[in-house]
Amino acid sequence: MKALAIQRNKRRRGRLSWARLITWLRPTLWAVLLGGSLFALYLGGQRLTASPAFQVREIRWTGLHHLKEPEMTARFRSIVGRSLFRVDIAQIQREVQANPWVKKAVVRKEFPDRLHIQVIERVPAAVEIDSARRPRLRDEEGKILQQNGDPPEELPRIIHYNPAAYPQGLQLASLISDTLEKEGAGPSLFVIDLADPEDLVVHFPEGVLHFGKEEYSERWRRFLEIREDLERRGISDREIDLRYRRKVIVKDGFTPDEGERGLWPGEKEAGRESQF
């Protein structure tokens, strides 16, 4: 009996030893299995990202109007042939938006081999004429899109750019442009001076209009009511103050400042004095 008890105890101790060993080895085995799986995934991922099937073969642009697709594609030509997995779309987005004509850009990966860049362009709203008579193209926020070159004839002209007065200047330009368009004339006929936000001044070949800082629509309507009478009376080089309610002050013999002369080279010869 004593021998059987000893034998039983030995078997029990043996089973406990195996149980302890398995308990101890289990985390190690799981770690080995997990590590092997992760390594296999890493090797698979490396092969996948290096696969020619995922190399960029096309850059697709949408939303381009002023900007030309061949020029934009040429700028990002280095992306072609690169793995789509390794393309940094945030960096590309920053580079696209660095262009002054780009207001916003969205870059997407389109698997297996295309990069899609959607662009929202800035829209020109006015032409600023600087002190040297050089044009600057600005959008509705006042951002400079282009300097020098030939500005579009259909855009209003401004001088003495002032961020505080620019939105009101665009509003006034729209009112005047609508009237001129109906009469077959263009916005390049007049120039809006933004030097003083309290008094927006419109220059035209025959003189100036003072609009103040508000009620532009009403003041423009009052000027239109007396325009024909001024033309019949032959008042030239006139200065017209529209800032007062229910009256318009007209002075003749207006002389522009040195910086305001020559805004329309040859305008008298072109017959533009009859527009206002």
pLDDT along the chain (276 residues), means of 10: 52 56 63 60 52 90 96 95 93 97 97 96 95 93 93 91 96 92 77 96 90 94 88 79 89 66 48 45
Residue 8 Cα to chain centre, angstroms: 86
Q: Residue 142 is part of a domain; what is its CATH number?
A: 3.40.50.11690
State whether 147 and 114 are in the same domain: no
Distances (CA, A) of 155 to 179, 182, 189, 233: 14, 15, 10, 31
pLDDT of 25 reads 58
pTM, full prediction = 0.74
pLDDT of 163 reads 96
Burial class (CB in 10 A: 0-12, 13-18, 19+), 139: middle
Residue 26: inside a domain, yes or no? Answer: no
State whether 225 and 187 are in the same domain: yes
Residue 216: inside a domain, yes or no? Answer: yes
Residue 5: inside a domain, yes or no? Answer: no
pLDDT of 6 reads 52
State whether 228 and 134 are in the same domain: yes
- Rounded to 10 degrees, what is the CA torsion of 142, 140, 135, 257? -80
State whether 155 and 240 are in the same domain: yes
Residue 266: inside a domain, yes or no? Answer: no
State whether 116 and 225 are in the same domain: no
Residue 179: inside a domain, yes or no? Answer: yes
State whether 81 and 187 are in the same domain: no
pLDDT of 76 reads 95
pLDDT of 265 reads 45
Of the candidates 64, 96, 121, which is a domain's last residue?
121
State whether 129 and 245 are in the same domain: yes
Residue 2: inside a domain, yes or no? Answer: no
Of the candidates 72, 92, 121, which is a domain's last residue?
121
Q: Which domain holds residue 210?
A: 124-252
Residue 267: inside a domain, yes or no? Answer: no
Inter-residue contact 201 to 211 (CB < 8 Å): yes
pLDDT of 35 reads 63
For 145, the token pair is 């899109």
State whether 99 and 166 are in the same domain: no
State whether 162 and 223 are in the same domain: yes
pLDDT of 269 reads 39
Residue 232 Cα to chain centre, angstroms: 47
State whether 213 and 99 are in the same domain: no
pLDDT of 80 reads 94
- Please choose, from the candidates 214, 216, 240, the residue with its C-alpha nearest in 3D space to the C-alpha of residue 227: 240
Residue 63: inside a domain, yes or no? Answer: yes
Q: Residue 75 is part of a domain; what is its CATH number?
A: 3.10.20.310
Number of domains in the chain: 2
Of the candidates 121, 146, 175, which is a domain's last residue?
121
State whether 132 and 245 are in the same domain: yes
pLDDT of 218 reads 94
Contacts of residues 100-103 at CB distance under 8 Å and 24 or more positions apart, as own/partner, are: 100/143, 100/144, 100/145, 100/146, 101/66, 101/67, 101/145, 102/67, 103/139
State whether 112 and 152 are in the same domain: no
pLDDT of 47 reads 55
